[in-house]
Structure 1
């Protein structure tokens, strides 16, 4: 299980810049991010190299921030690679709340961050089905 930070942001110029500046000044490295928005606000989801410290830095800077457990999965970077993993997840009756992806550490893979209803069930299913997921420190050190 890995920690993802979710930051509530008003849809105002400079809010995203303020988050990244605060993290950058603290030498926190962003590994992956996703933004979901509405007309009034957005939710910035972050994977960082030091989530506990980043959480405190953002809180101290006045941001509304929360931690969520997610799971990072290594997916073959080929046509249908994600479909194979999603099919196996469906077979295991795992409900996906959301996901986002980024390039992996080699030409052959991509990494997908999944928020699922039951992380423990997902880890067990992934092991049974041979789906490679990253341990917390492995993800943070990419």
Structure 2
């Protein structure tokens, strides 16, 4: 149920983001979702890709600083309060969110969100028990 996320440490230099995306494209790796957080000197690019193990190796071999972490992909009702419901469940169960971002994709009445939490396995169990849709990794990688 957990999704592998690739994090890439990037210097804030012109072309570095293009270098990452070109490296992935040249190796036929599709980006399903991404988020970038930056400071004046560097940024952290977080990626969900269709082949995470391969992407981690290729980027590392290409001299990028890369790590892989487990995140959760959930589907929330695409209406006011849909995300609040899932976040309330985590809050009530004392599960802290480190960060989150939405990604493109929608099925029926759900919008998709990536969550990084302190205890992903516990969060998956808790959310699933409260009827929050957990999106399997293989489905996410194919979006």
Give the TM-score of the pair, scaled to structure 1: 0.96
Distance 1:110 1:28 in 2: 23
Q: Report deviation, 1:16.
A: 0.1
Q: Report deviation, 1:104.
A: 2.6
Q: Report deviation, 1:105.
A: 2.6
Is 1:127 the counterpart of 2:128? The answer is yes
Q: Report deviation, 1:107.
A: 5.3
Partner of 2:23: 22
* Aligned residue pair count: 142
Question: What does 1:32-51 correspond to in 2, within 5 Å?
Answer: 32-51=33-52
Distance 1:95 1:7 in 2: 23
Distance 2:129 2:76 in 1: 16
CA contact (8 A) 2:76 2:83 kept: yes
Question: What does 1:1-142 correspond to in 2, within 5 Å?
Answer: 1-106=2-107, 108-142=109-143
Distance 2:65 2:24 in 1: 14
Measured against aligned partners, the alpha-carbon deviations of 1:74-119 in whole angstroms (never above 9, x if no partner) come to 0111111111111111112110000000233335221110000001
RMSD of aligned residue pairs (Cα, Å): 1.0
CA contact (8 A) 2:32 2:103 kept: no
Give ranges in structure 2 of 5+ residues lacking alignment.
Answer: none
Distance 2:114 2:37 in 1: 15
Give ranges in structure 1 of 5+ residues lacking alignment.
Answer: none
Measured against aligned partners, the alpha-carbon deviations of 1:106-141 in whole angstroms (never above 9, x if no partner) come to 352211100000011101101211111111111111
CA contact (8 A) 1:104 1:111 kept: yes
